[in-house]
Amino acid sequence: MKRLRLKGKLIFLEVGLRIALIGDTHANLPALEAVLAHAQQNRIDAIWNLGDFVGYGAFPNEVVKELWRREATSILGNYDRKVLKVYEKREAGSDHKNPTKSLAFKWAYDHLSRESRSYLHSLPEQRLIALGELYTLMTHGSPLSRSEHLTPFTPEDRLRGLTHTTRARVILCAHSHQPFARRVDDVWFVNPGSVGRPDDGDPRASYAILSISAGQFQVEHYRIEYDVARAIAAIQAAQLPEEFALMARLGRSLDWILTQRGSIAAD
The CATH architecture assigned to 5-266 reads 4-Layer Sandwich (3.60)
Q: Which residues contact 151 (CB under 8 A, 6 or more apart)?
A: 176, 178, 180, 191
Cα–Cα dist 174/177, whole Å:
6
Write down the domain spans for the chain: 5-266
Q: Are 112 and 106 in contact (CB under 8 A)?
A: no
Q: What is the DSSP letter of 226?
A: -
Cα–Cα dist 254/217, whole Å:
35
Tens-binned pLDDT, residue by residue, of the chain (267 aa): 444 444 444 555 555 789 999 999 999 999 999 999 999 999 999 999 999 999 999 999 999 999 999 999 999 999 999 999 999 855 544 555 688 988 999 999 999 999 999 999 999 999 999 887 789 999 999 999 999 999 999 999 999 999 999 999 999 999 999 999 999 999 999 999 999 999 999 999 999 999 988 767 899 999 999 999 999 999 999 999 999 999 999 999 999 999 987 677 544
How many Å from the N-terminal Cα to the C-terminal Cα in the chain?
Answer: 46
Smallest Cα–Cα separation from 194: which of 63, 40, 82?
Answer: 63
